[in-house]
């Protein structure tokens, strides 16, 4: 569960780390190509691929038509024939238009072929909210894609993990759903140089603690870290677990932490029903029930389409106060 080593690390943005991970693999493997809307000449809506068109040319950094089903299907075919496409969804909400290709083809071809046909495909882009893009551009789709065998689903929060998990994703012979967060693109952190690949299915202890376990992934990890700061003022030492990987899932990390703290709060940005936090609670119930001193509490987004107005958007997503109060409830303390 320890964070990947960062020898000779430099401070970089999440955006720069993603680009560095892709460039690392493009330099090492000519079969790695990038595809997506406006990723070439324009450099990408979020500037993740800025400069790569000039560096690698149109055959390796391909501007696609506005047709998610079409270019995703083409990328699946390319992957089946030995290439390693990295497809950008301008926002993961647009993947609804490609979901038939992703779920019915990418996720199943290797199984259908008895392992003879690999699908080394990465589909990446911003997932979730926090950047005022309203209801049709603010879905959190980790539960949707995490449901289907054959897909791997990851959601890094630190720049170091963004780079390291991108390297791992491109090398994987299975389709990888790579969930970023637009609100994280400008955040900074230390990033290891060279090949700092991060293994899938291994959670990260973002903060050590002994009294309660806060479990999250993606940008909600940072929310939990701030809540842990607030709890420390009450004398509560919260442990924060960054899942990083939704499928495969590090069950052991949850169990070992709860055995130590005896209390857990699962945090997700998505709506409460049928979410990742529910799975976290079920795993703890199955494997660590006898260690619990309180029920597992879930903190989730409000059951409404994401509002555009900033003040309403803030209210629609989990807050530091909600997480801290959930921890106080499992500690049988007075809420603030």
Residues forming the active site = 68, 137
Residue 151 contacts by C-beta under 8 Å, 6 or more apart in sequence? 102, 103, 106, 107, 145, 174, 175, 176, 177, 247
CA distance 108 to 262: 39
CA distance 264 to 50: 41
DSSP classification of residue 90: S
CB-CB neighbours of 42 under 10 Å: 13
Strands 297-301, 264-271: pairing kind: parallel
DSSP classification of residue 303: S
Q: Cite the beta strand spans of the chain per DSSP E.
A: 10-13, 32-36, 61-63, 84-88, 122-126, 152-154, 176-180, 188-191, 204-207, 212-216, 238-242, 245-247, 264-271, 297-301
Q: Which residues pair with 271 in a beta bridge?
A: 301
**CB of 167 within 8 A of CB of 116?**
no
**CB of 36 within 8 A of CB of 18?**
no
Could you give the 3-state DSSP secondary structure of residue 211?
A: coil
Strands 152-154, 84-88: pairing kind: unpaired
Strands 204-207, 32-36: pairing kind: unpaired
């Amino acid at each position: 569960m320890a964070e990947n080593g960062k020898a000779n690390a430099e401070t970089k943005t999440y955006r720069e780390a993603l680009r560095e991970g892709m460039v690392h693999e493009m330099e090492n493997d000519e079969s790695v190509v990038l595809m997506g809307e406006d990723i070439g000449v324009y450099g990408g809506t979020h500037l993740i691929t800025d400069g790569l068109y000039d560096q690698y040319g149109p055959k390796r950094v391909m501007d696609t038509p506005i047709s998610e089903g079409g270019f995703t299907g083409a990328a699946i075919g390319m992957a089946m024939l030995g290439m390693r496409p990295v497809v950008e969804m301008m926002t993961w909400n647009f993947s609804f238009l490609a979901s038939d290709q992703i779920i019915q083809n990418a996720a199943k071809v290797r199984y259908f072929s008895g392992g003879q046909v690999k699908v080394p495909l990465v589909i990446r882009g911003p997932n979730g909210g926090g950047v005022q893009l309203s209801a049709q551009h603010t879905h959190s789709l980790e539960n949707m894609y995490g449901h289907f065998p054959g897909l791997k689903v990851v959601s890094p929060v630190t720049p170091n993990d963004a780079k390291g998990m991108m390297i791992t994703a491109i090398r994987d012979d299975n389709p990888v759903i790579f969930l970023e967060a637009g609100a994280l693109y400008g955040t900074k952190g230390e990033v290891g140089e060279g090949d700092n690949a991060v293994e899938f299915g291994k959670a990260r202890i973002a903060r050590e603690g002994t009294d309660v376990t806060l479990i999250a992934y993606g940008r909600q990890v940072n929310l939990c870290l701030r809540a842990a700061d607030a709890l420390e003022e009450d004398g509560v030492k919260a442990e924060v677990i960054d899942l990083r990987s939704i499928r495969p899932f590090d069950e052991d990390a949850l169990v070992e932490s709860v055995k130590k703290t005896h209390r857990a709060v699962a945090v997700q940005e998505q709506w409460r029903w049928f979410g990742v936090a529910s799975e976290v609670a079920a795993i703890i119930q199955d494997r660590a029930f006898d260690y619990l001193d309180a029920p597992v509490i879930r903190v989730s987004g409000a059951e409404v389409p994401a509002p555009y107005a900033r003040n309403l958007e803030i209210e629609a997503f989990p807050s530091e106060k909600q997480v801290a109060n959930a921890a106080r409830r499992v500690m049988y303390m007075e809420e603030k």
